Structure formats: C-alpha cells, structure tokens
Amino acid sequence: MTLKALIFDVDGTLAETEELHRRAFNETFADFDLPWRWSPRLYGELLKVAGGKERILYYVAHYQAGRLADIAPRVAEVHAHKTRRYEELMGEEPVPLRPGVARLIAEARAAGLRLAVATTTSRANLTALLRSAFPDGDGVFDAIVAGDEVARKKPFPDVYERVLDELGLDAESCIAIEDSRNGVAAARGARLEVVVTPGLYTAGEDFSGALAVVSELGLPARSYEHLAGAGRHDRNVTVEALERWHGAALRDEAPARADRPILLHA
C-alpha cells in the first residue's frame, strides 16, 4: 500500500463550521460594544485571510482604519472571547460532519491508514468540534497541528510539514483533504496530493493543482458531484479510490488536475 495517511483540514472540510464562527465573531463584537456586523458576503472576503486575529486586523485596517490604533492592542483579547463563544455555541448547537467524513475516517482506520489534522483554526476551536463530532474526541487522530502552533498559517505549508514530521511520513505516502484555495496551496507547498470538497464559502475558488475536486466525500446512497481531476467515474471518495488516484498521480497517469475556479450547481 503506497497510501499511508489522510490529513484533514477542519473548517469547511470536516464540518461546515464557518457560519458558527461568523456568529461567534458578531456576538463578540456586540459584547465589546463594537458596532460591527460581518455579513455572509463580507465574511466570505475575510476568510481569504488565514487566522481569526489576522482577520480582525485586516477588517479594521480596511474598513475601520480610524480605529486601528485603538483596536490593535486588544485583538488577542477580542479573539480569545470569540473562541470561548464559539466553544459555547458548539456545545449548544453541534455542527454535523460533512457527508461522507465519518464513513471515510472509519474506512481509513479499518484499512490501517493513519489520520491527522492540519488546520488554521486554533486548538481550542478544533477540540470543541471534535468533542461534539467523535466519541473519542481528538483521540481519533494520530497527529494534530493547529494554526496557533506554527509560525505561518495557510497558504504557507507549515502545518502540513509539521504534521508529516509528527507522523514520520513523507509527502508521497499521504493525501490531504481540503476545501479552500489557501488549503490547496499549503498542501501542494508541502508536496502533498490534495482532494478538495468545496465548502459553503469556497465553492467559487480556484483549486488549480488539486488531484480531484468533488462536491463532498459521498455516502453509499448518494454520489458526489465530480467537478475536476480524478474521480470522474467514481461515486464516493473511498480508501480504494484514493489509493487508485494517488497511485496514478505517482505514476504521472492522473487525469488533468483542476485548473480553474469551480462553481457548484445550485
């Protein structure tokens, strides 16, 4: 078996968590008496900036420039409050895993593959999701690296390089599962093949370089929608399919990679 591990992104990949993040940001702004409300359209733009603290600073610099000197020293405090609120919301209103995630993780475990997480989100945010989604919480993964544990966040490859080090594996024996252009850039920067399942806020992004782009991982009774690259004749992203796509890529036999923005059908 050439494939030895799957490495998952979190927000938008394991689960559609971004709306809960947006709500936590907005409620935090209200708690700090900040007259800001991030709409879905604005939040979609802000998501191109990796990291919550960085996102707040970007917003203030571009939309509230007069408040930058006042807000910048408080960003860590505001973001810590937002993280606590996100944890509370996740406990009150758990977000389900995206279709096929639990199935693929179970298949990978049964096949002897190792599992890991490489994410831009904080460890606290990740723990809140995993605690609600898996009986074993973060124990389901063999290695976890969060965005606050590396020097540079996605689109830089730092989280993936750190995960590979912790797994003790080389990039050619692993596949990343992502949902965003930043994630593709980070994974490819670490020389990983990457399969993309576009999320709520990333469906129109350019996934050039991805091995395959599909609407979701798929369920036994529901096929994914094939969007680009490998997998045109498959129904679900399975361990067998990933090994086949991965092996073809190593032999330079894979179908043309994604090379344009992907738009999901309504």
Quickly list DSSP for 198-214: --TTTTTSB-TT-SEEE
- Give the Cα-Cα-Cα angle 162, 163, 164 (nearest 5 degrees): 90
Among this protein's residues, is 33 annotated catalytic? no
C-beta separation of 233 from 255 below 8 A: no
> With contact defined as beta carbons under 8 Å apart, do 213 and 258 qualify?
yes
- Between β-strands 226-229 and 5-8, what pairing exists: parallel, antiparallel or unpaired? unpaired
Give the span between the Cα atoms of 68 and 63, in whole angstroms: 10
Taking the C-alpha atoms of residue 178 and residue 194, their distance in angstroms, rounded to an integer, is 7
Q: Is 11 a catalytic residue?
A: yes
CA torsion, ordered 89, 93, 96, 97, to nearest 10 deg: 10
Q: Which of 11, 158, 179, 234 is catalytic?
A: 11
197 contacts 13 by C-beta, under 8 angstroms: yes
**Could you count the other beta carbons within 10 Å of the beta carbon of residue 248?**
14
d(CA 42, CA 187): 26
Considering the candidates 9, 158, 179, 234, report the single residue annotated as catalytic.
9
d(CA 224, CA 215) in angstroms, rounded, equals 6
- Give the whole-angstrom CA distance, residue 8 versus residue 37: 30
Known catalytic residues are: 9, 11
